[in-house]
């Protein structure tokens, strides 16, 4: 084919089967009606040329990457490899005879050395012309990571057996392609093809098991009907996942296949690809879920009311739960995830069900008062936004969260194994659905909220620069959560896991007194949280700190001293490792050596006895 006609190769391929039919000119107008008349004429002449009879003998010995064998057809002897034979037979069906189109197609198979050389030269030329683009693409390639879909367990109805045999597939347009089966079951079949497939998802294909026809009495006139359900490509190989088309039953083949699989179980291995994929998914779940910083909260919908019901807590996200505990250790997370706020979030388009929430606490008379606002709340009035963000971000208790919500269903509680029930009685028991009593408790679950702490020192500092008038602090009452209307209890459930963090932090809201070394001034304040061994402490002062970074301070806990006589908690020594711009929020680290020993021992003992958890 000339270079001028190469661009019309697809049109020529579509015209080949009709070249010797009365409808040829009509089809030509249909597929090439948009081209100039002279171009249509050239295409017509090319197709006619390809359809002319040919008597040339094909000899590909030394010209292809493959072993060539004698192949006779129509009294002419050819020497061709397996790929060439497949191409020869396909083109013979298209033209109905041995023509120049058949001859040229065989001379241009993908494993032909000349074709391979031409492709290599074209590739080198392309790489030279697009060197910068290719380099940029290679840089980006290193950042690609595989996607693992959690809870994606592809379950099979029947065992699938690894089984390789030559097959030929035909679609409803009588286009055919040869390939090899990969695995087979009573319900489906997987086939691999060596080149791009002309088939699409949903196509009905008729499969002929060519590799079995010599050993078994197969029906050679009628293929077995399958439907294409999935097409994937791996390293230039196309894999077709097929399922039996129920509208074309074949009881005789069913009986044969059942007997064949049963009789060859010891000879061929059961295909476990879906189980291996399920294991990878399960491993990721077991690693990710106990360590995810995001807190999942399951939400009921009862009479149109959205009620947060359950939270899955791990060692990382439990800090969010601890933050929302009051002085009586009651969880008040429902203040943040109230029904009105969740309803507003659900009113957004499904792809945009997310928002940002901000919160802080106020500690007065040994009682904790919670304040929170969403982005939408703050956008209503600038004066409220400036007061809330400007004042709240100056507190050690300042937090920023991202909240998303997705649909959920109690049906998702049933996740059977990837293995079918037929694999054994133990598997069948494990595939049983959850008990009705459990499902009854979950029947109202409609949504899953994900709450992620996205607080940052930089963001907190930025918000603290917002100007506001202290005369208008009373406006913050609209964001306060009334203590006389506690929210619905959210039950906590934990993942089983090992402690991964060296220093997990625990909520500790208590009055403190801070003294700077070499200064008699006393700074009143409130502690926010401590680390598990008492090494770290975060506090908020009523007025700006007058010391320096890396300086030594002495902390007293008057309230905590009332609950212990074994430790002196009125003279704990810490080092200042961070303070904000206003110097009212300090991050402290227990002093080294004997000076910091009392702090470390006291808090370690207190945590162990669950006094502040």
Distance CA 483, CA 334 (A): 12
Query: What percent of the chain has a predicted confidence (pLDDT) above 90?
Result: 25
- Residues whose CB falls within 8 Å of the CB of residue 610, separated by 6 or more in sequence, listed in order: none
Question: For residue 194, what pLDDT is reported?
Answer: 75
Q: Band the pLDDT of 226: cuts 50, 70, 90.
A: very high
pLDDT digits (tens, 9 = 90+) for 490-536: 998 887 644 444 446 677 888 999 998 778 788 999 988 887 555 78
> Is residue 567 within 8 Å of 534, Cβ to Cβ?
no
Q: Predicted confidence band at 613 (pLDDT cuts at 50, 70, 90)?
A: very low
pLDDT at 612 over 60: no
**Residues 583/464, Cβ–Cβ less than 8 Å:** no
Mean pLDDT (the chain) is 83
Q: Domains (ranges, CATH) in the chain?
A: 3-113 (no CATH), 161-269 (2.40.10.220), 290-494 (no CATH), 505-608 (2.40.10.220)
Mind listing the pLDDT tens digit for each residue in 340-370? 999 999 999 988 999 999 999 998 888 899 9
Eight-class DSSP state of 452: E
Structure tokens at 455: 């607080």
**What is the pTM (predicted TM-score) of this model?**
0.56
Query: Is 60 exceeded by the pLDDT of residue 271?
Result: no
**pLDDT for residue 370:** 95
Q: Looking at per-residue confidence, does 398 or 27 come out higher?
A: 398
* pLDDT one-digit tens code per residue, 141-154: 777 777 777 766 66
Strand spans (E) along 152-293: 161-162, 166-170, 176-184, 188-193, 204-208, 224-234, 237-244
pLDDT for 212 beyond 70: yes
pLDDT for the residue numbered 502: 41
E strand or H helix that includes residue 373: strand 367-374
């Amino acid at each position: 084919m000339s270079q001028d006609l190469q661009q019309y190769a697809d049109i020529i391929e579509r015209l080949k089967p009709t070249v010797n039919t009365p409808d040829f000119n009509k089809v030509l107008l249909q597929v090439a009606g948009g081209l100039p008349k002279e171009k249509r004429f050239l295409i017509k002449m090319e197709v006619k040329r390809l359809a002319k009879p040919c008597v040339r003998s094909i000899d590909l010995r030394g010209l292809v990457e493959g072993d060539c064998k004698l192949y006779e057809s129509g009294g002419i002897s050819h020497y061709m490899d397996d790929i060439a034979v497949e191409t020869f037979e396909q083109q013979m069906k298209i033209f109905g005879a041995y023509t120049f189109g058949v001859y040229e197609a065989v001379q241009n198979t993908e494993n032909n050395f000349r074709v391979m050389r031409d492709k290599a030269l074209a590739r080198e030329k392309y790489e030279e012309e697009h060197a910068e683009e290719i380099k940029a693409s290679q840089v980006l390639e290193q950042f690609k990571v595989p996607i693992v879909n959690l809870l994606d367990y592809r379950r099979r109805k029947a065992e699938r057996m690894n089984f390789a045999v030559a097959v030929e597939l035909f679609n409803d347009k009588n286009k055919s392609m040869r390939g090899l089966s990969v695995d087979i079951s009573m319900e489906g079949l997987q086939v691999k093809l060596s080149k791009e497939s002309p088939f699409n998802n949903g196509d009905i294909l008729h499969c002929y098991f060519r590799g079995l026809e010599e050993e078994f009495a197969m029906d050679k006139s009628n293929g077995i009907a399958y439907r294409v359900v999935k097409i994937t490509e791996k390293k230039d190989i196309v894999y077709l996942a097929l399922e039996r088309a129920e509208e074309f039953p074949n009881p005789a083949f069913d009986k044969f296949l059942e007997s064949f699989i049963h009789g060859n179980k010891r000879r061929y291995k059961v295909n476990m690809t879906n189980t291996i994929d399920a294991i990878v998914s399960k491993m990721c779940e077991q690693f990710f879920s106990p360590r995810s910083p995001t807190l999942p909260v399951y939400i009921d919908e009862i009479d149109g009311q959205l009620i947060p019901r359950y939270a899955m807590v791990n060692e990382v996200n439990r800090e969010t739960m601890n933050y929302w505990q009051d002085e009586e250790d009651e969880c008040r997370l429902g203040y943040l995830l109230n029904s009105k706020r969740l309803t507003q979030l659900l009113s957004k388009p499904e792809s945009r069900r997310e928002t940002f929430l901000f919160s802080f606490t106020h500690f007065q008379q040994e009682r904790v008062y919670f304040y929170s606002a969403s982005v939408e709340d703050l956008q209503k009035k600038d004066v409220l936004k400036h007061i809330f963000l400007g004042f709240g971000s100056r507190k050690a208790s300042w937090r920023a969260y991202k909240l998303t919500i997705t649909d959920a269903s109690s049906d998702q509680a049933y996740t059977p194994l990837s293995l079918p029930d037929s694999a054994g009685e133990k598997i069948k028991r494990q595939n049983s659905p959850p008990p009705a009593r459990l499902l009854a408790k979950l029947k109202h679950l409609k949504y899953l909220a994900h709450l992620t702490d996205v607080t940052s020192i930089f963001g907190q500092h930025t918000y603290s620069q917002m100007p506001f008038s202290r005369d208008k602090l009373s406006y913050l009452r609209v964001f306060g959560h009334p203590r006389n209307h506690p929210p619905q209890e959210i039950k906590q459930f934990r993942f089983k896991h090992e402690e991964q963090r060296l220093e997990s932090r625990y909520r500790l809201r208590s009055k403190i007194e801070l003294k700077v070394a070499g200064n008699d001034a006393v700074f009143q304040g409130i502690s926010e949280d401590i680390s598990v061994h008492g090494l770290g402490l975060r506090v908020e002062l009523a007025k700006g700190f007058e010391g320096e970074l890396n300086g030594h301070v002495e902390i007293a806990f008057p309230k905590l001293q009332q609950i212990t006589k074994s430790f002196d908690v009125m003279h704990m020594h810490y080092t200042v490792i961070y303070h904000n711009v206003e110097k009212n929020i300090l991050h402290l680290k227990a002093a080294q050596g004997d000076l910091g020993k009392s702090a470390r021992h006291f808090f370690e003992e207190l945590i162990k006895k669950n006094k502040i958890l």
